[in-house]
């Protein structure tokens, strides 16, 4: 009996010497270490102060919670956190990932997985029903360092992104681009300007080539997955030559760190509209708004008024051209005088080329006599306009 009491006492002393549960005089508790608690509840060697629960653990999970909800009509939460402090910065959850030396391939501040439900949402953001909220975003994303969240424009947004957004799939909805902001409470200002009146929009855009391309290696990484190549990377896309467009409208083109060009096609629309308006004005002049144009250019572009089977002026080739271009003609033998007159888009005569040959012939126009842009040229037979076409000079 005495031997058994001695053994029990030794076990008790041994248990106390290795005990890892410490409670101080303020009721703060530490589990897993004999250090003095610094928070209401400390787990492991955490030394965080001013915390309700502080945990430090070497393993794959800082906290692992498995909840089996009861179907009682109420929602179930794996973790429910309510933060209502009076501080300027108030976070329900602040999650920091990627402090392991910066050499790991993935770091997620928050990763949400949802499934096995008719409606599954990985991350959900919504506003509480208070009336004094000026700025709200269900999800806010920025490419800047963490700091005070601020909006350039007051309002409520399901998602607000302060930086570039890349989507490799389809985006559904109405895409808007800022134009003439006039909100008095906004810190941003805009200035209305005329779009490059020194040269017509249509002649500038005519210098930009259309291109076809594949997005098969956007950032130097293979985009194919186990099921095959993603259709967005294998299909053919259509666009404009970004390098050419950048020379004309640099504000519409950006280049990322991988050397890829990005075009703001939304803000290209007003320039296209301006070009359409220019063509509309030009057609109005061709129909007789200007007496001189009515006399010299009375036919529609590319049409012949008389002797259509005999008189012919083909489209110049090449077109556009940078050095010279050739215009093939068929001039009736009965023609006394034949000339090709070249006009700019304002109706001003720029050049005159005499055609001395009759029948099948051709003339050469040299770009050295012309500036870059679009021109109208007409075949004049015996003082009458027969055919009118357009040419583009691209130097």
Across 112-125, average pLDDT? 85
Across 365-379, average pLDDT? 90
Q: Coil, helix or strand for 233?
A: helix
**Residue range 74-93, pLDDT digits in tens:** 888 888 888 777 667 777 88
Neighbours of 5 (CB within 10 A): 9
Residue 3 has pLDDT above 60, yes or no: no
Q: How confident is the model at residue 301, as a pLDDT?
A: 40
Q: Residue 288's pLDDT band (boundaries 50, 70, 90)?
A: low
Across 24-40, average pLDDT? 86
Rounded percentage of the chain residues whose pLDDT exceeds 70: 70
Identify the CA nearest to 313 among candidates 323, 324, 325, 322. 325
Give the span between the Cα atoms of 45 and 34, in whole angstroms: 9
Q: Which residues of 130-156 are buried (b: 16+ CB within 10 A; e: fewer)?
A: eeeeeebbeeeeeeeeeeeeebeeeee
Residue ranges of the alpha helices (H) in the chain? 2-17, 201-205, 231-234, 242-248, 269-284, 291-296
Q: How confident is the model at residue 105, as a pLDDT?
A: 73
Q: Residue 392's pLDDT band (boundaries 50, 70, 90)?
A: very high
Across 154-179, average pLDDT? 75
Q: Is 222 left (phi over 0), alpha (psi -120 to 50) or beta?
A: beta
In the chain, the domains with their CATH numbers are: 1-57 (no CATH), 183-289 (no CATH), 291-393 (2.60.40.1930)
Q: How confident is the model at residue 290, as a pLDDT?
A: 47
Across 357-368, average pLDDT? 91
**Residue range 311-347, pLDDT digits in tens:** 889 999 999 999 999 999 999 988 999 999 999 888 8
Average pLDDT, the chain: 75
Q: How confident is the model at residue 231, as a pLDDT?
A: 54
């Amino acid at each position: 009996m005495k031997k058994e009491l001695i053994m029990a006492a030794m076990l008790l002393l041994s248990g106390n010497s290795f005990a890892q549960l410490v409670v101080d005089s303020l009721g703060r508790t530490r589990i897993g270490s004999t250090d003095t608690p610094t928070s209401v509840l400390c787990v492991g060697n955490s030394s965080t102060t001013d915390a309700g629960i502080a945990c430090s653990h070497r393993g794959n999970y800082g906290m692992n919670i498995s909840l089996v909800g009861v179907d009682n009509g109420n929602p179930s939460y794996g973790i429910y956190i309510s933060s209502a402090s009076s501080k300027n910065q108030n976070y329900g959850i602040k999650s920091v990932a990627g402090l392991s030396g910066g050499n790991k391939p993935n770091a997620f501040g928050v990763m949400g997985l949802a499934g096995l439900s008719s409606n599954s949402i990985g991350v959900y953001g919504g506003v509480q029903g208070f009336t004094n909220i000026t700025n709200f975003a269900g999800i806010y994303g920025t490419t800047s360092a963490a700091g005070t969240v601020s909006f350039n424009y007051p309002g409520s947004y399901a998602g607000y992104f302060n930086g570039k957004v890349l989507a490799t799939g389809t985006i559904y909805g109405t895409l808007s681009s800022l134009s003439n902001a006039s909100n008095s409470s906004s810190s941003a200002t805009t200035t209305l300007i005329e779009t490059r009146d020194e040269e017509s929009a249509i002649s500038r855009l005519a210098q930009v080539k259309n291109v076809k391309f594949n997005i098969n290696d956007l950032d130097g990484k293979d985009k194919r997955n186990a099921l095959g190549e993603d259709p967005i990377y294998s299909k053919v896309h259509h666009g404009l030559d970004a390098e050419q467009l950048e020379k004309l409208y640099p504000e519409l083109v950006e280049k990322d760190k991988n050397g890829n060009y990005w075009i703001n096609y939304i803000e290209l629309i007003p320039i296209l509209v301006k070009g359409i308006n220019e063509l509309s004005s030009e057609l109005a002049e061709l129909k007789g708004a200007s007496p001189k144009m009515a006399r010299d250019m009375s036919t529609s572009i590319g049409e012949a008024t008389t002797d259509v089977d005999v008189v012919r002026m083909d489209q110049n080739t090449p077109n556009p051209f940078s050095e010279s271009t050739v215009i093939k003609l068929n001039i009736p033998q009965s023609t006394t005088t034949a000339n090709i007159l070249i006009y700019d888009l304002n109706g001003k005569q720029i050049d005159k080329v005499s055609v001395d040959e009759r029948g099948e012939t051709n003339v050469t126009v040299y770009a050295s006599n012309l500036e870059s842009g679009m021109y109208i040229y007409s075949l004049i037979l015996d003082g009458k306009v027969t055919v009118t076409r357009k040419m583009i000079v691209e130097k």
